[in-house]
Amino acid sequence: MRQTIIFYNPISTSPGKQRLPMSLMAIASVVAADYDMVFIDGNLIADPAQAIIEQVQKTGARLLGVTVMPGPQLRQAVPVCRRIKAACPDLTILWGGYFPSNHALVTLNSGYVDYVIVGQGEAAFRKFVDIFFAGGALTDVPSLAYRDGAGEIIYTLRAPFVPLENLPWYPYDSIDMEPYVGTSYLGQRVGAHHTSWGCPFACNFCAVVPLAKQRWLAESAERVIAVTRHWKQHYHIDGMEFHDMDFFVSERRTEAIAEGLIGQDVAWWGLGRVDTLMTYQDKTLEKVARSGAKMIFMGAESGSDETLKLMNKGGTSGIAQTLAIVERLKHVGIVPELSFVLGNPPDPISDIEQTISFIRQIKKINPATELILYLYTPTPQEGSVLLDEAMRGGFAFPQTLEEWADEEWAERSLRRNPGTPWSSDPIRRRIRDFETVINAFYPTVTDMRLHGTMRRLLQALSGWRYKLAFYHAPYELKLLQRMIHYRRPETMGF
């Protein structure tokens, strides 16, 4: 009789914006041939704890695998797993993902999470599942954290990284795919895929760095093209979001993917770096545009070269390159989507003003540029100058899962109010007031509900503020946002 494994994807977004739970699908792919699987998605089910408890009773499942990111996922996963453990004490609960990978000790101290897989999970999960059901030594499972019989925390050696090309496809037939075909700026039926894992860079504000150890593991261009065509043939998509940590690391691979997607009538979106994309030849960017790329997300991060150095953004990255890539993408018809981390030490006010001025320069070059504005939020990364500065000022991470999941820390995880010594109320208000004004003066191109008349109204009401650079207390614009519910970039589902 085949054993059953339950996979739980905690809520991560607002209703209607859910995307395929790719982390769970990747893990499930390595056991799909030998085990029965049940997927419970908190984005689709109002009471995932009850659904899981019922599945345990129905199938006799002994193992629950959970993927957890900070923010909404963690906030739901904590009470759900606590409730499940109380109702099903013999059910083994295993967490993976970048929250437990970075905070394994806190996770295991909860009393209701039994095991944590750290880092890339496919090889470790397959080994764990086989030993869990058939017997063997847990010390033989790589990348595993757990308590032994004496209560000591054991960390096994990290597993070697596994190239994605060597892993099976996601088990699409094991899940109802229709709820994961969404609507966005890209099209009416939009899918999602990870074409790579990890990132070769070491930005010192990024939680991915300790997870991936600066490794980038990519699918071949041929496989990416085949997966996209599979989505188009079976799920009739007209858009695809590539949620890689960095899609554009290799120009040769990008060019090959673009060549394979030309003529497929699939609009797409991906993430990259400013300095990497600036090394691309013009002909490659033109081919990327012809293949259907509509928008590229990049971390511009700051309007100060000194702050970029502090962030370890790389010796070749800089504000001049950001201006240049915005110009280049404008000429090929791709919208740049830029994120910024504002209010950084040692002088957060000056950092904000420099970045605001820089953003205004960007908008002069390409008004369609999308903006995502954040406050720096510390991550547990050794050697991070920003983390060291925060901790010297009294910042500390929570010591229990319940603290991590409370409302205050959920907000911090979304990088809106990180609780750092320099992120005072006036600093946060300055950023949010500017964000309100610029989002009204330059309404996002992705909101297809905003017709010409409404756009002109927003620009007319915000124009005097933007032209005078007077952002303080834009109450009339905030009222307008509530009245017409137009989309702001920070609320997008990408």
Tens-digit pLDDT profile for residues 192-235: 999 999 998 877 777 787 778 889 999 999 999 999 999 999 99
Q: Would you tell me which CATH number, out of the four given (1.10.10.10, 3.30.70.270, 3.40.50.280, 3.30.200.20), belongs to the domain 4-150?
A: 3.40.50.280
pLDDT number for residue 485:
67
- Residue 1's Cβ-count burial label (10 Å; 0-12, 13-18, 19+) is exposed
Please answer whether residues 54 and 82 qualify as being in contact, where contact means their C-beta atoms are separated by less than 8 angstroms: no
At 494, the pLDDT band (50, 70, 90 cuts) reads very low
pLDDT number for residue 416:
59
Mean pLDDT (the chain) is 91
Kindly state the helix (H) or strand (E) to which residue 7 belongs, with its residue range.
strand 4-9
CA 179 to chain CA centroid, Å, is 20
Please answer whether residues 320 and 329 qualify as being in contact, where contact means their C-beta atoms are separated by less than 8 angstroms: no
At 382, the pLDDT band (50, 70, 90 cuts) reads low
Which residues are paired to 341 by β-bridges? 374
Largest CA distance in the chain: 72
Please answer whether residues 13 and 19 qualify as being in contact, where contact means their C-beta atoms are separated by less than 8 angstroms: yes
Strands 4-9 and 36-41: parallel
Distance CA 67, CA 22 (A): 10
pLDDT number for residue 492:
33
Which residues are paired to 267 by β-bridges? 239
pLDDT number for residue 211:
79
**Per-domain residue ranges of the chain:** 4-150, 181-423
Please answer whether residues 186 and 294 qualify as being in contact, where contact means their C-beta atoms are separated by less than 8 angstroms: yes
73-122: pLDDT as tens digits: 999 999 999 999 999 999 999 999 989 999 999 999 999 999 999 999 99
432: amino acid identity, one letter: R
Is pLDDT of 342 > 90? no
Please answer whether residues 216 and 198 qualify as being in contact, where contact means their C-beta atoms are separated by less than 8 angstroms: yes
pLDDT number for residue 428:
85
Which residues are paired to 375 by β-bridges? 342
pLDDT number for residue 423:
62
Is pLDDT of 280 > 70? yes
- Residue 58's Cβ-count burial label (10 Å; 0-12, 13-18, 19+) is exposed
393-448: pLDDT as tens digits: 777 888 999 999 988 776 666 655 666 666 667 888 899 999 999 999 998 888 76
Q: Would you tell me which CATH number, out of the four given (3.40.50.460, 3.40.630.40, 3.40.50.920, 3.80.30.20), belongs to the domain 181-423?
A: 3.80.30.20
Distance CA 93, CA 114 (A): 5
Sheet holding 63-67, edge to edge: 36-41, 4-9, 63-67, 92-96, 115-117, 144-147, 153-155
Distances (CA, A) of 447 to 183, 353, 456, 494: 11, 28, 14, 13
Closest CA to 460 of 474, 479, 488, 441: 441
Please answer whether residues 145 and 154 qualify as being in contact, where contact means their C-beta atoms are separated by less than 8 angstroms: yes
Task: Enumerate residues 6+ apart whose C-beta is below 8 A from 322.
Answer: 274, 298, 300, 338, 358, 362
Range from 249-258, 381-390, 392-401 carrying the lowest mean pLDDT: 381-390
DSSP assignment of 184-204 equals ETTEEEEEEE--EEE-S---T
